[in-house]
Amino acid sequence: MQVDPRGQRFAAAVTSVMLIAVLVTGSWLLLAAQAVVFALATFLGLRYAPYGLVYRVLIRPRLSPPGELEDAAPPRFAQGVGLGFALVGMVGYALGVPWLGIGATACALGAAFLNAVFGFCLGCEMYPLIRRITTKIRNREVPA
């Protein structure tokens, strides 16, 4: 599946706003809502991610066609990384360990901000490296 990279940047911008709100309020419930968004994109695909739906229905029809499309696998992986940080942050906030909640949320915010402002998807850049490493590990011959 191919996706419009502008939609990914839109989703990253909305995610950034959500994560800033989490840092300002310290609300694990807001972070839980963002975790649900990450989970939907990760497990069901970007097509079913709420921010992607908003982009596809309300914004993309008003834009010219994208100059290029990109493979959906790297951004989907990036959503999974975001989910991991959101879950760690939720645990921190919920258990009264604010430094853990703040740290994990700030990491997710940093990655989302890079994508929203500069079009640099950190998780997307990690994806081929991790694939290469796991492929080498899988194909490695084990001595008898």
Judged against a pLDDT cut of 80, whether residue 126 lies above it is answered with yes
Provide the domain count of the chain: 1
Q: Is residue 87 part of a domain?
A: yes
Range of the domain at 66: 2-139
Q: Which residues contact 88 (CB under 8 A, 6 or more apart)?
A: 100, 104
The predicted-structure confidence for 61-107, as pLDDT tens digits, reads as follows 999 999 999 999 999 999 999 999 999 999 999 999 999 999 999 99
Q: Do 31 and 22 form a contact (C-beta atoms < 8 A)?
A: yes
Q: Is residue 80 part of a domain?
A: yes
Judged against a pLDDT cut of 70, whether residue 143 lies above it is answered with no
Q: Do 107 and 81 form a contact (C-beta atoms < 8 A)?
A: no
Residue 75 one-letter amino acid: P
Q: Which two tokens stand for residue 78?
A: 């990036």
**Within its chain, how far is the Cα of 7 from the centroid?**
12
> What span, in angstroms and rounded, lies between the C-alpha atoms of 78 and 136?
21
Q: Is residue 144 part of a domain?
A: no
> 98-118 and 73-94 helices cross at what angle (nearest 10)?
150
pTM of the prediction? 0.91
Q: Is residue 30 part of a domain?
A: yes
Q: Is residue 16 part of a domain?
A: yes
**Distance from first CA to last CA of the chain, Å, rounded?**
41
Q: Is residue 100 part of a domain?
A: yes
DSSP 57: I
Q: Is residue 131 part of a domain?
A: yes
Q: Which residues contact 29 (CB under 8 A, 6 or more apart)?
A: none
Q: Is residue 134 part of a domain?
A: yes
